[in-house]
A and B are shown apart, each in its own frame.
Chain A
Amino acid sequence: MQKSNNLICHRIIIGIIVLIMVLPLVATLLYSLSTRWGATILPDGLTLHWYIDLLSDPRFLWSFARSILVCAAGLALCIVVMIPVIFIVFYSLPGLKKVFNFIVVLPFAVPPVVSSVGLLQLYSDGFLPISGTFWILIFTYFTIVIPFVYRSMANSFAAVSLHDLMDAARLLGASTPQAFFKCVLPNLKKGILSAVFISFSILIGEFVFANILVGTRFETLQIYLYNTRQVSGHFTSALVIFYFAFIFLLTFIASRLGNHK
């Protein structure tokens, strides 16, 4: 008797907390679908008008395309640069693992606002004047995703017995690069893919670097979202819902990939 009472109690607690967490989302969704929602608790009427407006705004489509481009470029750069590094660390220089455990927490210890103070001064002029262009975003996005890419790749490396795999391939006459590309890399596909989706959802939401280092000179989705705040609440809501649906898709794919390991 007491146990079932407890169960109801736990369900109520979960229900209340989830309700609080869902509330902003549901309200934004309702707002984006309503014709007018003035000084009342519920909206007046429903419409898809705001979504049509949004999807026919070229400025929105361009900012979305720019976001995808810069996030994909930063992430691709990180993966291409990290694959040989992780291979060396796990295969030949395991002593470096400690160094990397430190390296991957550094981006967390330094808030992006702090980094951007230095970045702004270092790359505004001098040998590499890339501040204000999308290049600086690509390189900073590279630093943001290092921990996520390293973690998920390191997990896959730990899961395959790397040395056995390499030895077997070499015994059959493959060179070290051949053994790596043909035997080791295919095993990492799932780890890399889940890293891609997690990192992508993080980068799409990045605002600090985009706002301080580049601003409107290369308007990404987040900057566009901020700049259109004065247009109309309904329009902005449609944009927020679109954004969240996109993130939902990415995290959904990531969790699917994670489950089928």
Chain B
Amino acid sequence: MAMTKKRYHRRGAKALTYTALLGPFALLFALFQLAPVLWVVINSFIYDGELTLDNYRAIWDSAFTLQSFYNSLWLSLISSLIGLIIALLLVNSLRRVDCRLRRMVISFINMSSNFSGVPLAFAFIIILGVNGSITLLLRSIGLVEEFDLYSKWGLLAIYTYFQIPLAVLLLYPAFDALKDEWQEAAQLLGASMLQYVRKVALPVLTPAIIGTFVILIANAMGAYASVYALTSGNYNVITIRIAALVSGDIFLEPNLAAAISVLLMLIMAVIVMINYTLLNRSRYAKKQ
């Protein structure tokens, strides 16, 4: 009897210690990470105090909001694709050169991964703005007539710029899986470079490439600071739309912002799901 009581007591003390140590984290995480997301999800279904789908209908009916989805998806997909290709080229070449150069480039890339948002937008205005040095250079060579940094091509340039370091840092470790001997073996067996890339290198790298691509898309879809700083919030992408609906000067519609936010998170979830299915398929292919 006394024994069990003591054990109970001890178990109670243990539970108390766990609560005391885990509690502060759980509380802060719930208040500032979970609660905001929950608020967004619940309120996206509320309009004028009633449970309804009106917010979602409003998105569907507004060509302006739909355009923001189109713009965000376009920028994310294209910038992720270009960033990925450039990163693949760079990482592939990095593995072929001496160690010192490689280490220098990687630490530079690591640093430039912090060069994003407002400071990056200003740097772009300096070089690619109306009187930017690169714009002038290109114009004097005659390559371009007019380059509008504040259009979708300018935004594509800045998005691609901040995708490259991220892609390089994510892909670099994956290339360790490729053994140099494989290329020699393939060559000895009479495979061309293209065949080696298609039949050996790409299948091995596929999981890393898909994973990186998904992270790049999520990164671009959530990007806000660079667009905001470059266009003062005048270019229509999802994040700018959401922010304008909760903190703009004209009219605030937090519940509509919530509905757009839910759709944004859904798109990201779908992309992650596609990633998983593709990953599983590529593993299956490897097993065969």
Contact = CB atoms under 8 A, between A and B. Distances in A.
A117 B261 contact: yes
B251 interface: no
B208 interface: no
Interface residues of B, number: 77
Which DSSP category, helix, strand, loop or mixed, fits chain B's interface?
Answer: helix
Given A42-B133, A93-B18, A225-B119, A115 B33 contact: yes
Given A237-B122, A244-B115, A143 B33 contact: yes
Contacts of A207: 117-118, 224-225, 228-229
Interface in B202-234: 218, 221-222, 224-225, 228-229
Contact of A251 (B110, B123, B229): B110
Interface string A1-43: 0000011011101100110011111011001000001111110
B115 A25 contact: yes
Interface in B103-141: 105, 107-112, 114-120, 122-127, 131-134, 136-137, 140
Contacts of A42: 133
A121 B114 CA distance: 30
B239 A111 contact: yes
Interface of B: 18, 21-22, 24-25, 28-29, 31-33, 35-40, 43, 86, 89-90, 92-94, 96-97, 101, 105, 107-112, 114-120, 122-127, 131-134, 136-137, 140, 161, 164-165, 218, 221-222, 224-225, 228-229, 239, 242-243, 246-247, 254, 257-258, 261, 264-265, 268-269, 272
16 contacts: A10-B92, A13-B93, A17-B164, A21-B165, A24-B115, A27-B133, A27-B134, A108-B218, A109-B218, A111-B221, A118-B39, A118-B258, A121-B246, A229-B122, A237-B122, A244-B114
Interface of A: 6-7, 9-11, 13-14, 17-18, 21-25, 27-28, 31, 37-42, 77, 81-82, 84-85, 87-88, 92-93, 103, 106-122, 128, 139-140, 142-143, 146, 201-202, 205, 207-208, 211-212, 215, 222, 225-226, 229, 233, 236-237, 240, 243-244, 247-248, 251, 255
